[in-house]
Structure 1
Amino acid sequence: MSSIENTGRPGRRQQDPEGTRRNIIEVASTEFALNGLAGARIDEIAEKTRASKRMIYYYFGDKEGLYVSALENAYRVVREGEAELDIESLPPLEGLRRLVGFTFDHHSEHEDFIRMVMIENIHSGRYMERSPALRAVNEAAIARIGSIYAKGVEEGVFREGLDPLEIHWQISALCFFNVSNRATFSHLFGRDMGSADSQASLRQNTIDMVFRYLAKPEYI
Structure 2
Amino acid sequence: METHIGSRDCARTARNDSDEKSVRIVDAEGHRKNILEVATAEFAAHGFAGARIDEIAAKTSCSKRMIYYYFVDKDGLYVAVLENAYRRVRQLEEAVDYDVLSPEAALRKLVAFRFSYHEKNAHFVKLVLNENMNGAHHLARSDVIVQLNQLALATVDRIYARGVHDRVFRPGISALEIHWQISAFCFYGVSNKSTFSTLFERQISVGLSFDKIKANAVDSIMRFVIL
User: Structure 2 length normalisation: TM-score?
Assistant: 0.89
State the match for 1:170 in structure 2.
181
Which runs of 5 or more structure 1 residues have no equivalent in the other structure? Answer: none
Superposed counterparts of 1:15-30, under 5 Å: 15=24, 16-30=27-41
Does the CA contact (< 8 Å) of 1:88 and 1:144 recur in 2? no
User: What is the aligned-residue RMSD (CA, Å)?
Assistant: 1.9
Distance 1:166 1:35, change over 3 A: same
State the match for 2:172 in structure 1.
161
State the match for 1:184 in structure 2.
195
Relative to structure 2, which stretch is displaced further, 114-123 or 11-20? 11-20
State the match for 2:150 in structure 1.
139
Distance 1:59 1:90, change over 3 A: same
Q: CA deviation at 1:193?
A: 5.2
State the alpha-carbon separation in 2 of the partners of residues 109 and 194 from structure 1: 20
Q: CA deviation at 1:6?
A: 2.8
Does the CA contact (< 8 Å) of 2:164 and 2:170 recur in 1? yes
User: Structure 1 length normalisation: TM-score?
Assistant: 0.91
**Secondary structure, in 3 states, of the residue corresponding to 1:8?**
coil
Distance 1:196 1:60, change over 3 A: farther
State the alpha-carbon separation in 1 of the partners of residues 12 and 78 from structure 2: 25
Q: CA deviation at 1:182?
A: 0.8
| 1:92 aligns with one of 103, 108, 124 | 103
Taking only the aligned residue pairs, the percentage that are identical comes to 47
**Secondary structure, in 3 states, of the residue corresponding to 1:13?**
coil
Letter in 2 for 1:6: G
State the match for 1:13 in structure 2.
12
Does the CA contact (< 8 Å) of 1:142 and 1:165 recur in 2? yes
**Secondary structure, in 3 states, of the residue corresponding to 2:112?**
helix
Q: CA deviation digits over 1:128-177, x for unaligned, max 9? A: 12111010011000011001010100000000000101100100100110
Q: CA deviation at 1:191?
A: 3.8
Letter in 2 for 1:202: I
Q: CA deviation digits over 1:35-93, x for unaligned, max 9? A: 11011111110111111111100111101110000000111111111101211221100
State the alpha-carbon separation in 2 of the partners of residues 191 and 88 from structure 1: 42
Distance 1:7 1:212, change over 3 A: farther
State the alpha-carbon separation in 2 of the partners of residues 8 and 113 from structure 1: 33
Which runs of 5 or more structure 2 residues have no equivalent in the other structure? Answer: 14-23
Does the CA contact (< 8 Å) of 2:4 and 2:28 recur in 1? no
Distance 1:199 1:7, change over 3 A: farther
Distance 1:114 1:89, change over 3 A: same
